[in-house]
Amino acid sequence: MTLDRAYYLLAAFYSLIVIIGVIAILAGGGTLLAPIHLLLGALAVIGLWGYILKRGFMNPRMWRPLASVLAVGIVVQMFIMLTTALSSVLLTWMLTSSIFSVMLVIMLYRYGDRDQPLWASDEERTAARQLDVLLSDSSPLTAIKRDGSRENSVKVTKSNGGYRASVTRRSQEGQERFEERFQYPETLVFFLEKFTSVTVDDFRRSASLDDRESAAATV
């Protein structure tokens, strides 16, 4: 059995559990906390399918907190198993669910990493391809974005380990510098547009200007 097939079987197993839970609640079964457990389980299944299919569902910022909640649930279950006298059937069920939940927590935590192409929009993917071409021709790239008294200066570098963005922000209040590293160009494009307002077109214009200045200096 391949790893991908095992992932699909795991997702199908969790999906079946959620379906059974819905049927049980509709039939009048379960405790007062059953709807909350079912909601958390349904969200986890959505994230699990997203991880397996490599598709972005909902917001990437929600998946790691959800993984943390599930991890706390595992700890609570382990504590109950170690401190409470349980029947063999219940003990086996809780132990099995805890083991499967550990795998789910790991997958959801990885799924919540924003630095993945699956979270990029179509526009960001297109811009990422363009930026990657520019960086292949010339690295580092620099661009400056001005908005009134504010100025954002960005230098982007590509290396074997990924991409690095060095940012300098200047305003009347002062100056700040920071640096971020990314594994994928899609995340780099998202970061630049959101936190510096710098786009691929800004790098392209800056590179063209540098080329013209170099040609003029040569002449």
- pLDDT for residue 80 is more than 60: yes
- Percent over 70 (pLDDT), the chain: 92
Rounded mean pLDDT, 75-94: 83
Q: What was the pLDDT predicted at 215?
A: 42
Q: How confident is the model at residue 62 (pLDDT cuts 50, 70, 90)?
A: very high
198 by Cβ neighbours in 10 Å (0-12 / 13-18 / 19+) ranks as buried
d(CA 133, CA 48): 33
Structure tokens at 37: 């457990």
Residue 127's alpha-carbon distances to 76, 182, 212, in angstroms, are: 45, 15, 24
The one-letter amino acid at 174: G
Q: Strands 150-159 and 174-182: what pairing?
A: unpaired
Query: Domain-by-domain residue ranges, the chain?
Result: 3-113, 119-218
User: pLDDT per residue over 186-213, tens digit each?
Assistant: 999 999 999 999 999 999 888 765 544 4
Q: How confident is the model at residue 117 (pLDDT cuts 50, 70, 90)?
A: very high
Coil vs helix vs strand at 65: helix
d(CA 58, CA 64): 13
- pLDDT for residue 1 is more than 80: no
Q: What was the pLDDT predicted at 185?
A: 95
Structure tokens at 201: 């077109």
Where do we find the tokens 């997958």? 107
User: pLDDT per residue over 141-175, tens digit each?
Assistant: 999 998 888 999 999 999 888 999 999 999 888 89
Angle between helices 185-195 and 122-137 (to 10 degrees): 100
